[in-house]
């Protein structure tokens, strides 16, 4: 039976491992003991009943394959050196190590119990804060603002960003206008178009005096702040010759790493598309189908083409907006139906259907 090693158990890696579990000897390598459904991390921050739900134990993912709590420190072709000192030499290697993002959208804790405790502590800190500062007006900052105002409408929320408008990226202005309309209705203050002179001295997600000043001279005072920007690719173990200028692994249309037979890269670690959970899932389908075809001799290897821009930005369970191919800009009712109420958690719970390992 062909062996497949998947490095990283995020949205891309865990789906590839799950899909190939019946046809290959699969080893999923991740330092954590549970998958974090970080799409719902902001919901867990404001509504602690979600904290346990967003951590899905890896021992419930695979029926046959192996879960290895470790991390890659070097890759040479298909040879992987792990932090433990072990070496893996599979027939096929999948690089899906994703990215890091400031807590609590993602957590540096590799132990789910410790991560849950950290989010619960941040929730307690948030509860006692009357004024909240969010640095970053991308999807993360906007979503967190909406979550806070839905669950704690009396809190004062201010978003600051160097950009002149919210939601930088290839989106229709109509979407920004709709989100700004809803943010105004929620009484969220936007302070845009000027960089901060420096970030707060108080650690993020921790209660304490917070004062920041923009280069334009505007001053904001708060009781807690959250960093809502700063994606870092988790590709430091990959040879520089395989990376592009942004630190992502270069891939071809088949999501293969050029010049290295049997090695694929996808999700946030690869340069195939924008770094979103949706893109990671679609790329996982392509890689899994290609590997299944190579392993079984049935079917064909597929290519990946980035689809038209799509984004959903819930502002709490009942508000938000999005931009979808064929539908254009959608408002709060549709955004809530698709994502806001469930945060897509039900779909991922289905994937983790294997019996717990003893």
Contact 254, 287 (CB under 8 A): no
Is 252 within a domain?
yes
Q: Residues 327, 349: contact at Cβ < 8 Å?
A: no
* Reported pTM: 0.95
Residue 48 is given by DSSP the state: G
Q: How far apart are CA 321 and CA 313, in angstroms?
A: 6
Report strand pairing: 92-95 vs 3-7: parallel
Domain extent, residue 73, equals: 3-31+69-101+231-306
Residue 339 is assigned to a structural domain of this protein: no
Q: Is residue 288 part of a domain?
A: yes
Q: What angle do CA 49, 60, 23 make, to 5 degrees?
A: 145
Q: How far apart are CA 134 and CA 137, in angstroms?
A: 8
- Is 255 part of any domain? yes
Does any domain span residue 172? no
Number of domains into which the chain is organized: 1
**Does residue 354 sit within a domain?**
no
Do 118 and 104 form a contact (C-beta atoms < 8 A)? yes
In a domain, 316, yes or no: no
pLDDT of residue 358: 46
pLDDT, tens only, 191-241: 999 999 999 999 999 999 999 999 999 999 999 999 999 999 999 999 999
N-term to C-term CA, the chain: 25
Which residues, at least 6 apart from 100, have a Cβ–Cβ distance to it below 8 Å?
106, 108, 231, 232, 234
Structure tokens at 225: 């702040």
In a domain, 60, yes or no: no
* Residue 266's CATH number: 3.50.50.60
Residues 314/343, Cβ–Cβ less than 8 Å: yes
pLDDT one-digit tens code per residue, 131-171: 999 999 999 999 999 999 999 999 999 999 999 999 999 99
Question: Please, which pLDDT band fits residue 354 given cuts at 50, 70 and 90?
Answer: low
């Amino acid at each position: 039976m062909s062996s497949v090693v998947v490095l990283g158990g995020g949205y891309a890696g865990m789906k590839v491992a799950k899909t190939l579990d019946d046809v290959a000897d699969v080893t999923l390598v991740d330092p954590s003991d549970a998958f974090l459904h970080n799409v719902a991390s902001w919901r867990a921050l404001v509504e602690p009943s979600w904290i346990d739900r967003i951590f899905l134990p890896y021992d419930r993912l695979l029926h046959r394959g192996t879960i290895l709590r470790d991390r890659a420190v070097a890759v040479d072709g298909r040879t992987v050196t792990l932090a433990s000192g072990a070496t893996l030499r599979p027939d096929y290697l999948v690089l899906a190590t994703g990215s890091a993002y400031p807590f609590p959208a993602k957590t540096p804790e590799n132990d789910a119990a410790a991560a849950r405790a950290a989010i619960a502590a941040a929730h307690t800190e948030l509860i006692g804060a009357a004024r909240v500062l969010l640095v970053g007006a991308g999807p993360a900052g906007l979503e967190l603002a909406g979550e806070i105002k839905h669950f704690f409408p009396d809190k004062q929320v201010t978003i600051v960003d160097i950009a002149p408008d919210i939601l930088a990226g290839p989106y229709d202005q109509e979407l920004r206008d709709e989100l700004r309309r809803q943010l105004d209705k929620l009484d969220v203050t936007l302070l845009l178009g000027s960089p901060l002179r420096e970030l707060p001295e108080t650690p993020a997600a921790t209660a304490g005096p917070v004062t920041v000043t923009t280069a334009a001279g505007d001053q904001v005072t708060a009781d807690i702040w959250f960093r809502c920007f700063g994606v870092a690719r988790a590709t430091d173990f990959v040879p520089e010759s395989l990376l592009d200028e942004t630190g992502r692994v270069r891939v071809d249309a088949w999501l293969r790493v050029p010049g290295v037979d049997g090695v694929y890269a996808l999700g946030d670690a690869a340069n195939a598309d924008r770094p979103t959970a949706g893109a990671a899932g679609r790329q996982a389908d392509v890689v899994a189908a290609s590997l299944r075809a190579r392993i079984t001799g049935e079917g064909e290897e597929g290519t990946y083409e980035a689809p038209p821009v799509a984004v959903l930005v819930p502002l709490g369970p009942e508000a938000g907006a999005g931009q979808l191919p064929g539908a254009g800009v959608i408002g709060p009712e549709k955004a809530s139906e698709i994502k806001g109420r469930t945060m897509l958690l039900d779909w991922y719970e289905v994937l983790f259907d294997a019996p717990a390992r003893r």
